Amino acid sequence: MKRFFHSFNVKISSLFLILLITMGIAQILISVKLTEKRQVEVDQVVNRDLARDMAREIEPQLGESSDLQSVGSIIHYMMVLNPAIEIYILSETGQILAFFAEEGKEVRQSSVDLVPVENFLKELEIPPIYGDDPRHPGQKKHFSAARIQYGNGKNGYLYIVLRSTIYDVAADMLKEKYIVSTLWRGLLISMFSVGIIGLILFAFLTKRLHLVAQSVREFQKSNYEKRLPIRSKDEFGELAATFNLMADRIVEDMEKLKQTDRLRRELIAMKYKTEARMRQVNLEAELPKSLHMVRADIGMLERVISNLLKNALNFTKAHGSVVLRISETNGNIRLSVSDTGQGIPKNELPYIFDRYYRGERNQPRSKSGSGLGLAISKKILELHRSSLEVNSMPGKGSVFFFELPRIK
C-alpha cells in the first residue's frame, strides 16, 4: 500500500485531479462572475429608459411645487410595481434632495458623483456603467438616470439604482445556493468524465515508465541481460536507448574488472606458490563456494593479504603449512592467514604491530623482513574501520585475521 501511494503514476494522477478540481472551481466562479456581469449589463440596457419614463410622469407635479415629497404617492406606486429599485432626486450638482426606498433605511451619502451619470446620458461608455450607491458608500451599482426640472424651473436628475438592498440580499442568497449546487454538479461531472479519461491516459502514458523502472530493478538484481525495447523516437525511446547503452557499458566494464581480478589472483598465486615451493611449505586456500562482496580498496587490501602471507611464509619451517581462509560470520566476511610456525611469545604480542619490530622467533633475521609489514597492514585496516587481530600459541603457530562488513 505504501509503495502504491509512492508510485509516479499515483502522484501524477493525484496532481492531475487536484488541478482539475481547482480549474473546475475557478471556471465556475469565473462563470458566475461573468454571468452576473452579463445580467447587470442586460438589466441596465433593458431599463435604460426607466428614469426618463418616470421623469415624464412626475415632472409636472415637481414643476408646480417646491415640495419634492409631493410626488411620493406616484413613486411609491411605481416601486410597488418594481420593488428592486431605489429612486433619488438630485440637484444640478449631485446633492440628494429626496429619496424613495425601503422604509426604515437611511441614506449614508449626501451626494452622488455625476460623472457616471453624464456618461450614461451621453452614452460615452458601453454598459454596464456603475454609479454611487448612496446607502452603501464605497459600493457601486448600475443605474438609470434622466434630467428633470423641479421647483419652478430648477434643473436636476432623477437617479434610479436598479438593484436595491432587498434585491441584493435575495440575490446573494440565491447566488450562494446556485454556486454550491453548480460546484457540486461541475465537480462530479469533471471527476467522472474528464477525470476518469485523464487517469486512463496517464496510466497508458506511464506504462512505458513502469517498464523502465522494472528493467532497472531487474538489472540491479544481477539480471545483466535485461534490455529495453526501443519502440518510439520520443523521450521514452531516448531513455530506453540510453539505458541499453549504459547496461552494455556496465557489463563490459564488469568483464574487464573480472579479467583484471583473475590476472591479479594468478599473479599473486605465480609469486607465493613458487616461494612456498622453494621453502618446502604447503600453501593452501580454503574459499567458500560463493564469495560475497565487501566495500574496500582492492589495491590496499591486496597489500594486506600479501604482507600476511609473506609474514607467514617467513616464519614457517620446511614441511609446515600456511592456509588462507575466507568465511562469513555474523554478517561479516572474515579473512585469516594461519601458519604452523613457532608462534609468538606472549611477551612479544603487544609489540608485533609496532614499526620495525622483528621479535625473537626462531627464524633467520635476514629473511624476516624490515618489520613494517604488520604495522602497514594494521594501518590499512584501520582506514577501512577494521582491525588486524592475532591468536598465537608458541610452538604451534599463529593466526592473523580481520573482518569487513558484507555488502547486502
pLDDT number for residue 362: 44
Instruction: Report pLDDT digits (tens) over 301-336.
Output: 989 999 999 999 999 999 999 999 999 888 899 999
Q: At what angle are helices 373-383 and 298-314 packed, to 10 degrees? A: 150
395 in Cβ contact with 342 (< 8 Å) = yes
Q: Is the pLDDT of residue 207 over 80?
A: no
**Average pLDDT of 373-397?**
93
**Average pLDDT of 361-378?**
65
Q: Is the pLDDT of residue 366 over 60?
A: no
Q: 220 vs 80, which has greater pLDDT?
A: 220
Instruction: Report pLDDT digits (tens) over 331-352.
Output: 899 999 999 998 999 888 888 8
Q: Is the pLDDT of residue 89 over 60?
A: yes
> What 3-state class would DSSP assign to 117?
helix
The residue count of the chain comes to 408
Whole-number Cα distances in Å, 304 to 52, 151, 253, 379: 109, 119, 26, 10
Q: At what angle are helices 50-64 and 72-81 packed, to 10 degrees? A: 160
pLDDT number for residue 382: 94
Q: 49 vs 73, which has greater pLDDT?
A: 49
> What confidence category does residue 177 fall into, taking pLDDT thresholds of 50, 70 and 90?
low
Q: Which triple of cell numbers denotes residue 322?
A: 600456511
User: Has this prediction a pTM greater than 0.75?
Assistant: no
Q: Is the pLDDT of residue 361 over 50?
A: no
160 in Cβ contact with 131 (< 8 Å) = no
The distance from CA 218 to its chain's CA centroid, rounded to whole angstroms, is 26
pLDDT number for residue 72: 65
